[in-house]
Chain A
Amino acid sequence: MEWEVVIGLETHAQLSTESKIFSGASTAFGAAPNTQASVVDLALPGVLPVLNRGAVERAIRFGLAVGATIAPRSIFARKNYFYPDLPKGYQISQYEIPVVQGGGLRILVGETEKFVHLTRAHLEEDAGKSLHEDYQGMSGIDLNRAGTPLLEIVTEPDMRSAAEAVAYAKALHALVRWIGICDGNMQEGSFRCDANVSVRPMGESTLGTRCEIKNLNSFRFLEQAIEHEVERQIELIEGGGRVVQETRLYDPDRNETRAMRSKEDAQDYRYFPDPDLLPLEIDAAWIDRVRDGMPELPEAKRARFAADLGLTDYDAGVLTGSRELADFFESMVARLPGQAKLCANWLMGDVAARLNREQRDLTDSPISADALSGLLARIADGTLSGKMAKEVFDAMWSGEGSADAIIESRGLKQISDSGELERIIDDVLAANPKSVEEFRAGKEKAFNALVGQAMKATKGKANPAQVNEILRSRLGG
């Protein structure tokens, strides 16, 4: 039987506020345990939460970026359960009425475009961490993370393959970083995905029973976990079994998922509106202020790159894959008007390849956008041949200075002086009568040999187009 895979994702994006969502404690990562837990985070008797408007502002930014409705009035609820790293015995989260409703993301899977609908995105606080190792049979509790603001972004079950899920996760990851609401650091847990996976016979319209897979902190794990889970479910059903709704944990070391808890022992969280917090009210003026401060979004930028700069859809898509790349590209184009294609080729070609080889981010590229523009300017004005440019690029990468300084110190100027080139070519023709004869006898190969000789005589500095032109006229072609 042919099976259709159905996937929905829930992503927790840690919002990039300085302080926590309901207290003034810092959210910086990596501090000594419990040094960033205020009396509110510790849930001491008598403390109360006060909402951080910066977290709300980031939620609004997200809502605007995905074309969602920003709820004029949303409610914080208490999700009640006991766990040692949950200080209050409840998590403050939005339940019935979330701040961001609907919207969606356009994703590119290979060459195919797809729109993934969002159900909602809501604000909530993170819990602390329980450390069960290294404490001689005891557990350590670190509450530095408790109260860190999260935006939980929930999709409709719109994805049909692990590849689509990964494409969505990557697009979302790029977007939250693009609009500056989350640093996207997956190792530190700033961006975590849970996947709801089910399968159904192709053509069936009702959804199969789903399993939720937790702990997917890299795109690779997300892909592997979904593929593994799909296989497990299909095998189970084809073997006459039945999928049980449950939460499963992905183990990247063994590349398998294992059951954490089934729906039967799912907890009753006894949600109710938090009486310590007023409803969150967001008026149109607040939304307008946030909108005014928004950067141009990737979609708009991509369209503009294609329409105004003449880039192909593919190039425009790649260059708007991250805010850094797009900014880099745009500052180059600003210095090299009319050379968008040249900038795109270099950025997507040599720069990308080099960064990739060295596993570096564009943000720590040794060549700045300005410096790279300086190099490309010398290509555009004919000073450098493509080959020479690559040499200069390598030198710039190793920190030898600006393109012009390297051209100067290495004497890499291309010879474009016609008089000088004519003299050199005349010498080449005189020294190679055999090749001249062969060319005149119709051997096109001989022409290339003469070009080669001319280039050799100039140590590669001759402008190849000019050499061609002069040779042709000399040989009466």
Chain B
Amino acid sequence: MSLHHETLATLSRKLAAREISAVELAHLYLERIDGNRDLNAFLDVRPDVTLAQARAADARRKAGDAGPLTGLPIAHKDIFVTRDFASTASSRMLEGYMSPFDATVVSNLATAGMVTLGKLNCDEFAMGSSNENSAYGNVLNPWDKSAVPGGSSGGSSAAVAARIAPVATATDTGGSIREPAAFTGVTGTKPTYGRPSRWGMIAFASSLDTAGLMTLSAEDAALVLSAMVGFDPKDSTSVDRPPENFARALTEPLRGRRIGVPKEFFGGGLQPDVEAAVREALGTYQRLGAKLIDISLPNAALGIPVYYVVAPAECSSNLSRFDGVRYGHRARDYGDLTDMIKKSRAEGLGAEPKRRILVGAYVLSHGYYDAYYLKAQQVRRLIADEFRAAFEQCDLIAGPVTTSVAFGFGEKAADPVAMYMSDLYTIPGSLAGIPSMSIPCGFGAHGRPVGLQLMANYFDEARMLGAAHQYQLATDWHARVPAGF
């Protein structure tokens, strides 16, 4: 087995056993990145920076100061600001922007000794479900280069699926980790809202934005998540809880676990190939001793309209700082100050951010606020309450991540609403703020991967990851490698 096909957990053991060095690993992945530039997964790669970090990691190990993550390579979604790599959010607006500080997620992982490979393409400001909204071009799906890698964390999912990065950070606002993970056959984990710090994450929708991971296994996710999240006084919505070892429940057997299956997640829109793979996975859980329970989340379907009020409203305000005054794109020709701001934004922002800013400004405008924003927040609470009630009956919830396997480029680009429907099953969990993940569970049409979604109660990541790990011990979908990688 090639070294780059190994999980992070295995690479960590090899580093600890001095079978490989951090510098060797960095070279390996830098070469793989370079050899797969057609995927367009990376936006910024700086080998000198990466190798310097790798050398520092090896020195730490030599000094006896290494942890389990020291020397392991990671790539960051370009939504996280970084001091050593440009931070663009895949927008023209921030082309070449260098942040004077690192995001907390980035600095936490750097403190643990992880080595940064570079920055990953995504939808502009994390707005999209196919990565077609990046100002820097499409990312290809390693399983089928005519298919999208999902979005908004399309660079993250493609990089991990192609084994050009052993792990990548990602962010999820309405499904931006889970949907691309499902589309590329990797493990995508979104922890509870408030667990990972948002400091240094370029904001899209503040009440939903959650940092997470793309990995090759649930075990890898547990390993990295333990170092990545934690209370951050710089983020007022950060939850003050003691650090956790998310790997603690990996070995817990599934016997007696109650898994809720929401009937609303198996409705008309669900494609038969996806449904078949998901049902099969549920069957596997049953064979492993879990008990399937029918549950209902009647308001989950309202998730999409609620989300497309709340998220644009917040984004319309969050993106106002990009005005060309202090940093970022400034129009070359303009009249007065107002004109400068108008033209800079018109030129610097892409079509999807503009569309959402318009929707957001509309739903917040005087006289519409109560009918849209306030109402949406009320329904959001109902959805969260439904999850709370459901978790009285079950330990986990399982279902599909998406209605279909990855679609082709341009298939939905002309129809924003069809594109928005891609997040039908992921949005409810985002609105509630509960942890959820996507694990590979088979293949559907055109040999494209299918994901199984697992959701858990607030702060119950360890149990969710444990259930995912038990499934991955019994199956090998997560270990399948796309041809040629």
In whole angstroms, how far apart are the Cα atoms of A89 and B357 in the complex?
A: 13
In whole angstroms, how far apart are the Cα atoms of A276 and B203 in the complex?
A: 10
Binary interface profile of A, 27-53, with partner B (CB < 8 Å = 1, else 0)? Answer: 000000000000100111111111100
Determine chain A's interface SS by DSSP, over half rule: loop
Contact B337 A84 (CB under 8 A): yes
Contact B369 A272 (CB under 8 A): yes
In whole angstroms, how far apart are the Cα atoms of A87 and B328 in the complex?
A: 13
Contact A50 B321 (CB under 8 A): no
Binary interface profile of A, 262-290, with partner B (CB < 8 Å = 1, else 0)? Answer: 00000010111001111000000000000
Q: Tell me the smallest distance from the CB of B322 to a CB of chain A, in Å.
A: 8
Contact B100 A39 (CB under 8 A): yes
A139 at the interface (CB under 8 A from B): yes
Q: Tell me the smallest distance from the CB of A100 to a CB of chain B, in Å.
A: 21
A371 at the interface (CB under 8 A from B): no
Task: Give A79's nearest chain B residue, CB to CB.
Answer: B317
B458 at the interface (CB under 8 A from A): no
Q: Which chain B residues border A88 with CB–CB below 8 Å?
A: 320-321
A3 at the interface (CB under 8 A from B): no
In whole angstroms, how far apart are the Cα atoms of A404 and B321 in the complex?
A: 67
B338 at the interface (CB under 8 A from A): yes
Chain A residues 86-110 with CB under 8 Å of chain B are: 87-90
Chain B residues 237-252 with CB under 8 Å of chain A are: 237
B485 at the interface (CB under 8 A from A): no
B198 at the interface (CB under 8 A from A): yes
Q: Which chain B residues border A78 with CB–CB below 8 Å?
A: 317
Set B97, B320, B341, B373: member contacting A80, Cβ < 8 A? B320
Q: Which chain A residues border B402 with CB–CB below 8 Å?
A: none
What is the size category of the interface that chain A forms with chain B?
A: 20 to 34
Contact B199 A141 (CB under 8 A): no
Binary interface profile of A, 60-98, with partner B (CB < 8 Å = 1, else 0)? Answer: 000000000000000000101010100111100000000
State which of B40-48, B292-300, B359-367, B461-469 sits at the interface with chain A: B359-367
In whole angstroms, how far apart are the Cα atoms of A84 and B316 in the complex?
A: 17
Contact B325 A141 (CB under 8 A): yes
Contact A275 B320 (CB under 8 A): no
Task: Give A270's nearest chain B residue, CB to CB.
Answer: B364
Contact A48 B199 (CB under 8 A): yes
Q: Which chain B residues border A48 with CB–CB below 8 Å?
A: 198-199, 234-236
Q: Which chain A residues border B369 with CB–CB below 8 Å?
A: 270-272
Q: Tell me the smallest distance from the CB of A163 to a CB of chain B, in Å.
A: 37
Task: Give A24's nearest chain B residue, CB to CB.
Answer: B234
Given A270-B361, A277-B236, are A87 and B321 neighbors across the interface (CB < 8 Å)?
yes
Contact A90 B317 (CB under 8 A): yes
Contact A45 B323 (CB under 8 A): no
B182 at the interface (CB under 8 A from A): no
Contact B320 A82 (CB under 8 A): yes
Contact B81 A45 (CB under 8 A): yes
Given A80-B364, A141-B325, are A46 and B236 neighbors across the interface (CB < 8 Å)?
no
Q: Which chain A residues border B361 with CB–CB below 8 Å?
A: 270
Q: Which chain A residues border B260 with CB–CB below 8 Å?
A: none
Contact A82 B81 (CB under 8 A): no
Other than A45-B99, A271-B364, A276-B203, give 10 A-B pairs with Cβ distance below 8 A: A39-B101, A42-B326, A46-B101, A46-B202, A48-B235, A78-B317, A80-B317, A80-B320, A89-B321, A268-B365
Complex A-B: 30 CB contacts under 8 Å: A39-B100, A43-B321, A43-B326, A44-B99, A44-B327, A45-B97, A45-B99, A45-B321, A46-B80, A46-B87, A46-B99, A46-B203, A48-B199, A48-B235, A50-B235, A50-B236, A51-B236, A80-B320, A82-B338, A84-B341, A87-B325, A88-B321, A89-B317, A90-B317, A270-B361, A270-B369, A271-B364, A272-B313, A272-B314, A278-B237
Which residues of B are in contact with A by a Cβ distance under 8 Å?
80-81, 87, 89, 94, 97, 99-101, 103, 198-203, 205-207, 233-237, 313-314, 316-317, 319-321, 323, 325-327, 337-338, 341, 361, 364-366, 369, 373
Which residues of A are in contact with B by a Cβ distance under 8 Å?
39, 42-51, 78, 80, 82, 84, 87-90, 139, 141, 268, 270-272, 275-278
- Rank and list the top 8 A-B pairs by shortest CB-CB distance, nearest first: A89-B320, A270-B364, A275-B206, A275-B207, A46-B200, A43-B321, A46-B81, A45-B202
